[in-house]
Amino acid sequence: MTDSPSPAVPVTPADSSLTTTLKILPPVSFTFICYLTIGIPLAVLPTYAHLRLGYGTVLAGLVISAQYVATVISRPRAGRMIDHLGPKRVVIYGLFACAASGLCTFAASFFTRIPLVALSSILLGRLALGVGESMVGTGASIWGIGRAGSQHIAKVISWNGVATFGALSVGAPFGVFLLQHWGLASVGLLIAALAIGSVAFAVRVPRIPVSAPRHLPFAHVFWKVAPHGTALAFGGMGFGVLATFITLFFAQLHWSGAAFTLSIYGVAFICTRLIFSGLIPRLGGFPVAIASLFIEIFGLLLLGFARVPSAAFAAAGLIGFGFSLVFPALGVEAVRLLPVENRGTALGTYNLFIDLSLFFAGPLAGAIISHAGYRASFLSCAAGVFFAFLLTLFLASRSRKPSP
């Protein structure tokens, strides 16, 4: 075999694109499994804590947000581990953490009559799941970038987003189905089985070479990506509140189809990523993010003023359509500010801001709901996304580098 390409079999752009996608998909599959373990209890646990265990809306929001406590704490460490150990090992560690979360949820199902014990077990599982998310989410992205090449960062991030919200859209209604038919124990067991089963596949996927990273202080990396991450954090508030409180909002109004709302969000999110992600390398990250945030604001306003379920469904679709490209669009602009050998730390730090957003969204929205109702929380999120819109405009005006 020679290194010279055969002129009789030219490589077309379509072939090249397909080859790149095939390199990306194996690591992306671990993102899908990770977020499936997140999505399955997403619409289950707030309702379980509020209606079965008898806790208020603030604690119901904390059940979901607790996951992001661990994610926020572990995300920088996960990025460093990826740069030093390689993404494959870190992804496997993260899958084991997801399995531990399922076992804690399974254990909680036996203590329904002792609410404090049940809640403690659920919260412990959420913390384990947060560690797993930081390891698998960031590790799978870097694994995919290493297999496909640095020129495909936006494509890898986009495919990871498709896997993320595809899993959430499938997992949320499936989790409700499991709870209704077989109880919370079945939810925990399935989560553990999915994570352990994925480890067997992960060990078969080839690792990528790890180069010794040039040490950069975390503070340096943090401040490099902080402006973009702040815009991402405020832009992600819509999903955080929608995911945590849409089931209780529908229950208060005696509407049906709350889990379906999350599915509509996921479908809109995925279709937007698949159809429009090519706009990021063509137009640049900032223009795409600005247009996307504007659409998300409109969706949150529609949700805040919704008077019928169909309006809430349409609002969820607009929020998913709007937020879909915000993450990769701002991510491309942020990650390119740092050396290639530090991209694990850079991407982990950038992800840290969406973790912070999702962590604070639940308790803050719960406090607003306690005093002013669900609609006020949705409108407050719209104001937060509007701030992200203004910040992105400012960052775009200051950018002097050419768009990727």
Residue 5 belongs to a domain: no
What's the pLDDT score for residue 249?
85
Q: What's the mean pLDDT in 244-264? A: 81
Can you state the percent helix, strand and coil of the chain, rounding each to 5? 85, 0, 15
Residue 404 belongs to a domain: no
Residue 4 belongs to a domain: no
Q: What is the total count of domains within the chain?
A: 1
**Winning range, highest mean pLDDT, from 56-65, 236-245, 322-331, 332-341:** 322-331
φ/ψ region of 257 (left if φ > 0, alpha if ψ in -120 to 50, else beta) reads left
Whether the Cβ atoms of residue 238 and residue 151 lie closer than 8 Å to each other: no
pLDDT above 90: residue 11: no
pLDDT above 90: residue 30: yes
Model pLDDT for residues 260-303, shown as the tens digit of each residue: 887 788 788 888 888 887 788 888 889 999 999 999 999 999 99
Q: Which residue has the higher pLDDT, 245 or 339?
A: 245
Token readout for 303 is 């949700």
**Winning range, highest mean pLDDT, from 25-39, 155-169, 351-365:** 25-39
Which of 79, 98, 92, 90 is CA-nearest to residue 34? 98
Spacing of C-alpha 11 from chain mean position? 35
CA distances in angstroms from 374 to 256, 312, 360, 397, listed in the order given: 16, 12, 16, 35
What's the pLDDT score for residue 246?
82
pLDDT above 90: residue 94: yes
Reported in sequence order, the residue ranges of 133-284 that DSSP labels E, i.e. its strands, are none
Whether the Cβ atoms of residue 344 and residue 79 lie closer than 8 Å to each other: yes
pLDDT above 60: residue 1: no
Spacing of C-alpha 137 from chain mean position? 8
Other beta carbons within 10 angstroms of residue 309's beta carbon come to: 16
Reported in sequence order, the residue ranges of 172-325 that DSSP labels E, i.e. its strands, are none
Read off the CATH number of the domain in which 56 is found: 1.20.1250.20
Residue 369 belongs to a domain: yes
pLDDT above 70: residue 347: yes
Q: Which residue has the higher pLDDT, 313 or 257?
A: 313
Other beta carbons within 10 angstroms of residue 400's beta carbon come to: 4
* Position 165, amino acid: F
Model pLDDT for residues 197-225, shown as the tens digit of each residue: 999 999 888 887 766 556 667 677 788 88
Residue 365 belongs to a domain: yes
What's the pLDDT score for residue 340?
65
Domain span at 374? 17-398
Residue 357 belongs to a domain: yes
Residue 267 belongs to a domain: yes
Residue 162 belongs to a domain: yes
